[in-house]
Amino acid sequence: MKVAVVGATGLVGTKMLEVLEQRNFPVTALIPVASEKSIGKEIIFKGKKYSIVSMQDAIDAKPAVALFSAGGNTSLEWAPAFEAAGITVIDNSSAWRMDPSKKLVVPEVNAQVLTAADKIIANPNCSTIQMVLVLKPLHNMFTIKRVVVSTYQSVTGTGVKAVNQLMNERKGIQAEMAYKYPIDMNAIPQVDVFLDNGYTKEEMKMVNETRKIIGDDSIQLTATCVRIPTMGGHSESVNIQFEKDFTIDEVKNILSTAPGVVVQDDPATFIYPMPLTAHDKDDTFVGRIRRDDTIPNTMNCWIVSDNLRKGAATNAVQIAEYLVAKKMIG
């Protein structure tokens, strides 16, 4: 199977190549695509060298699937051209997520919405992916009324420039900055741009994408997204109010059997999820599961996942794996 990776030299694109190899996706020919300045450069995949090509060259090569991670503007411009050539696009940007004609997919939650006719499929926001993996099985059982989430997001979510800023600051080097402020020894309560309602674009992504993926517009959700100087993944403090009552044992049992979710919850032995231990893993980890005694039918939990893997690359590859398994591509 011919597979194109668009944005192959970026943080997420590089991780996509890694995940494709690790999960042994049936790639017979890789078509790496990057910006014009990278055309002709070589990357190595499964021990073989591949030259980076242009968008048009990739389309002409007729891959079965193209994994996009090159930004929203690139996706808006080029995904329809791939679609017109009969190529299935799985797009990691925000360009198509809220388009009512496009599916927004976390395979463990709603892969069943996909059909062979879906040629542009949206990969959700990293913060949303890890949260809905925990929310959906609980919603099925207890019906979620309201969610309050605060995120603690890795600099890797911004990209290489932000990682360089953090590392330079730790070495005392003044250089190009991805953020308006220093990130080392700091927490910046802004992820993406501010909107007219006072929330950031990232915060509203979590609201709108969660409803679309779970398929319930009645869920009330409010978010505060914060950038912190970590590398291994995003963390989230989540408060969930249900229509029905529950026991903590019920919640733990449900989440223990939820696909893609690992419960790490034993305060007595200091076991709880952390970015350091979630790094380079495909699972989403949940712990600090406890009742909120101030509101009926409400609980708190702490969710951590590697934002470059399950939050981006792995989720995209899993969508492609589902399409192969259902013979929608191949």
What residues are annotated to the active site?
126, 234
The residues near 325 (Cβ < 8 Å, ≥ 6 apart) are none
Q: Give the strands of the sheet with 284-291, arranged side by side.
A: 220-227, 144-153, 234-242, 298-305, 284-291, 261-263
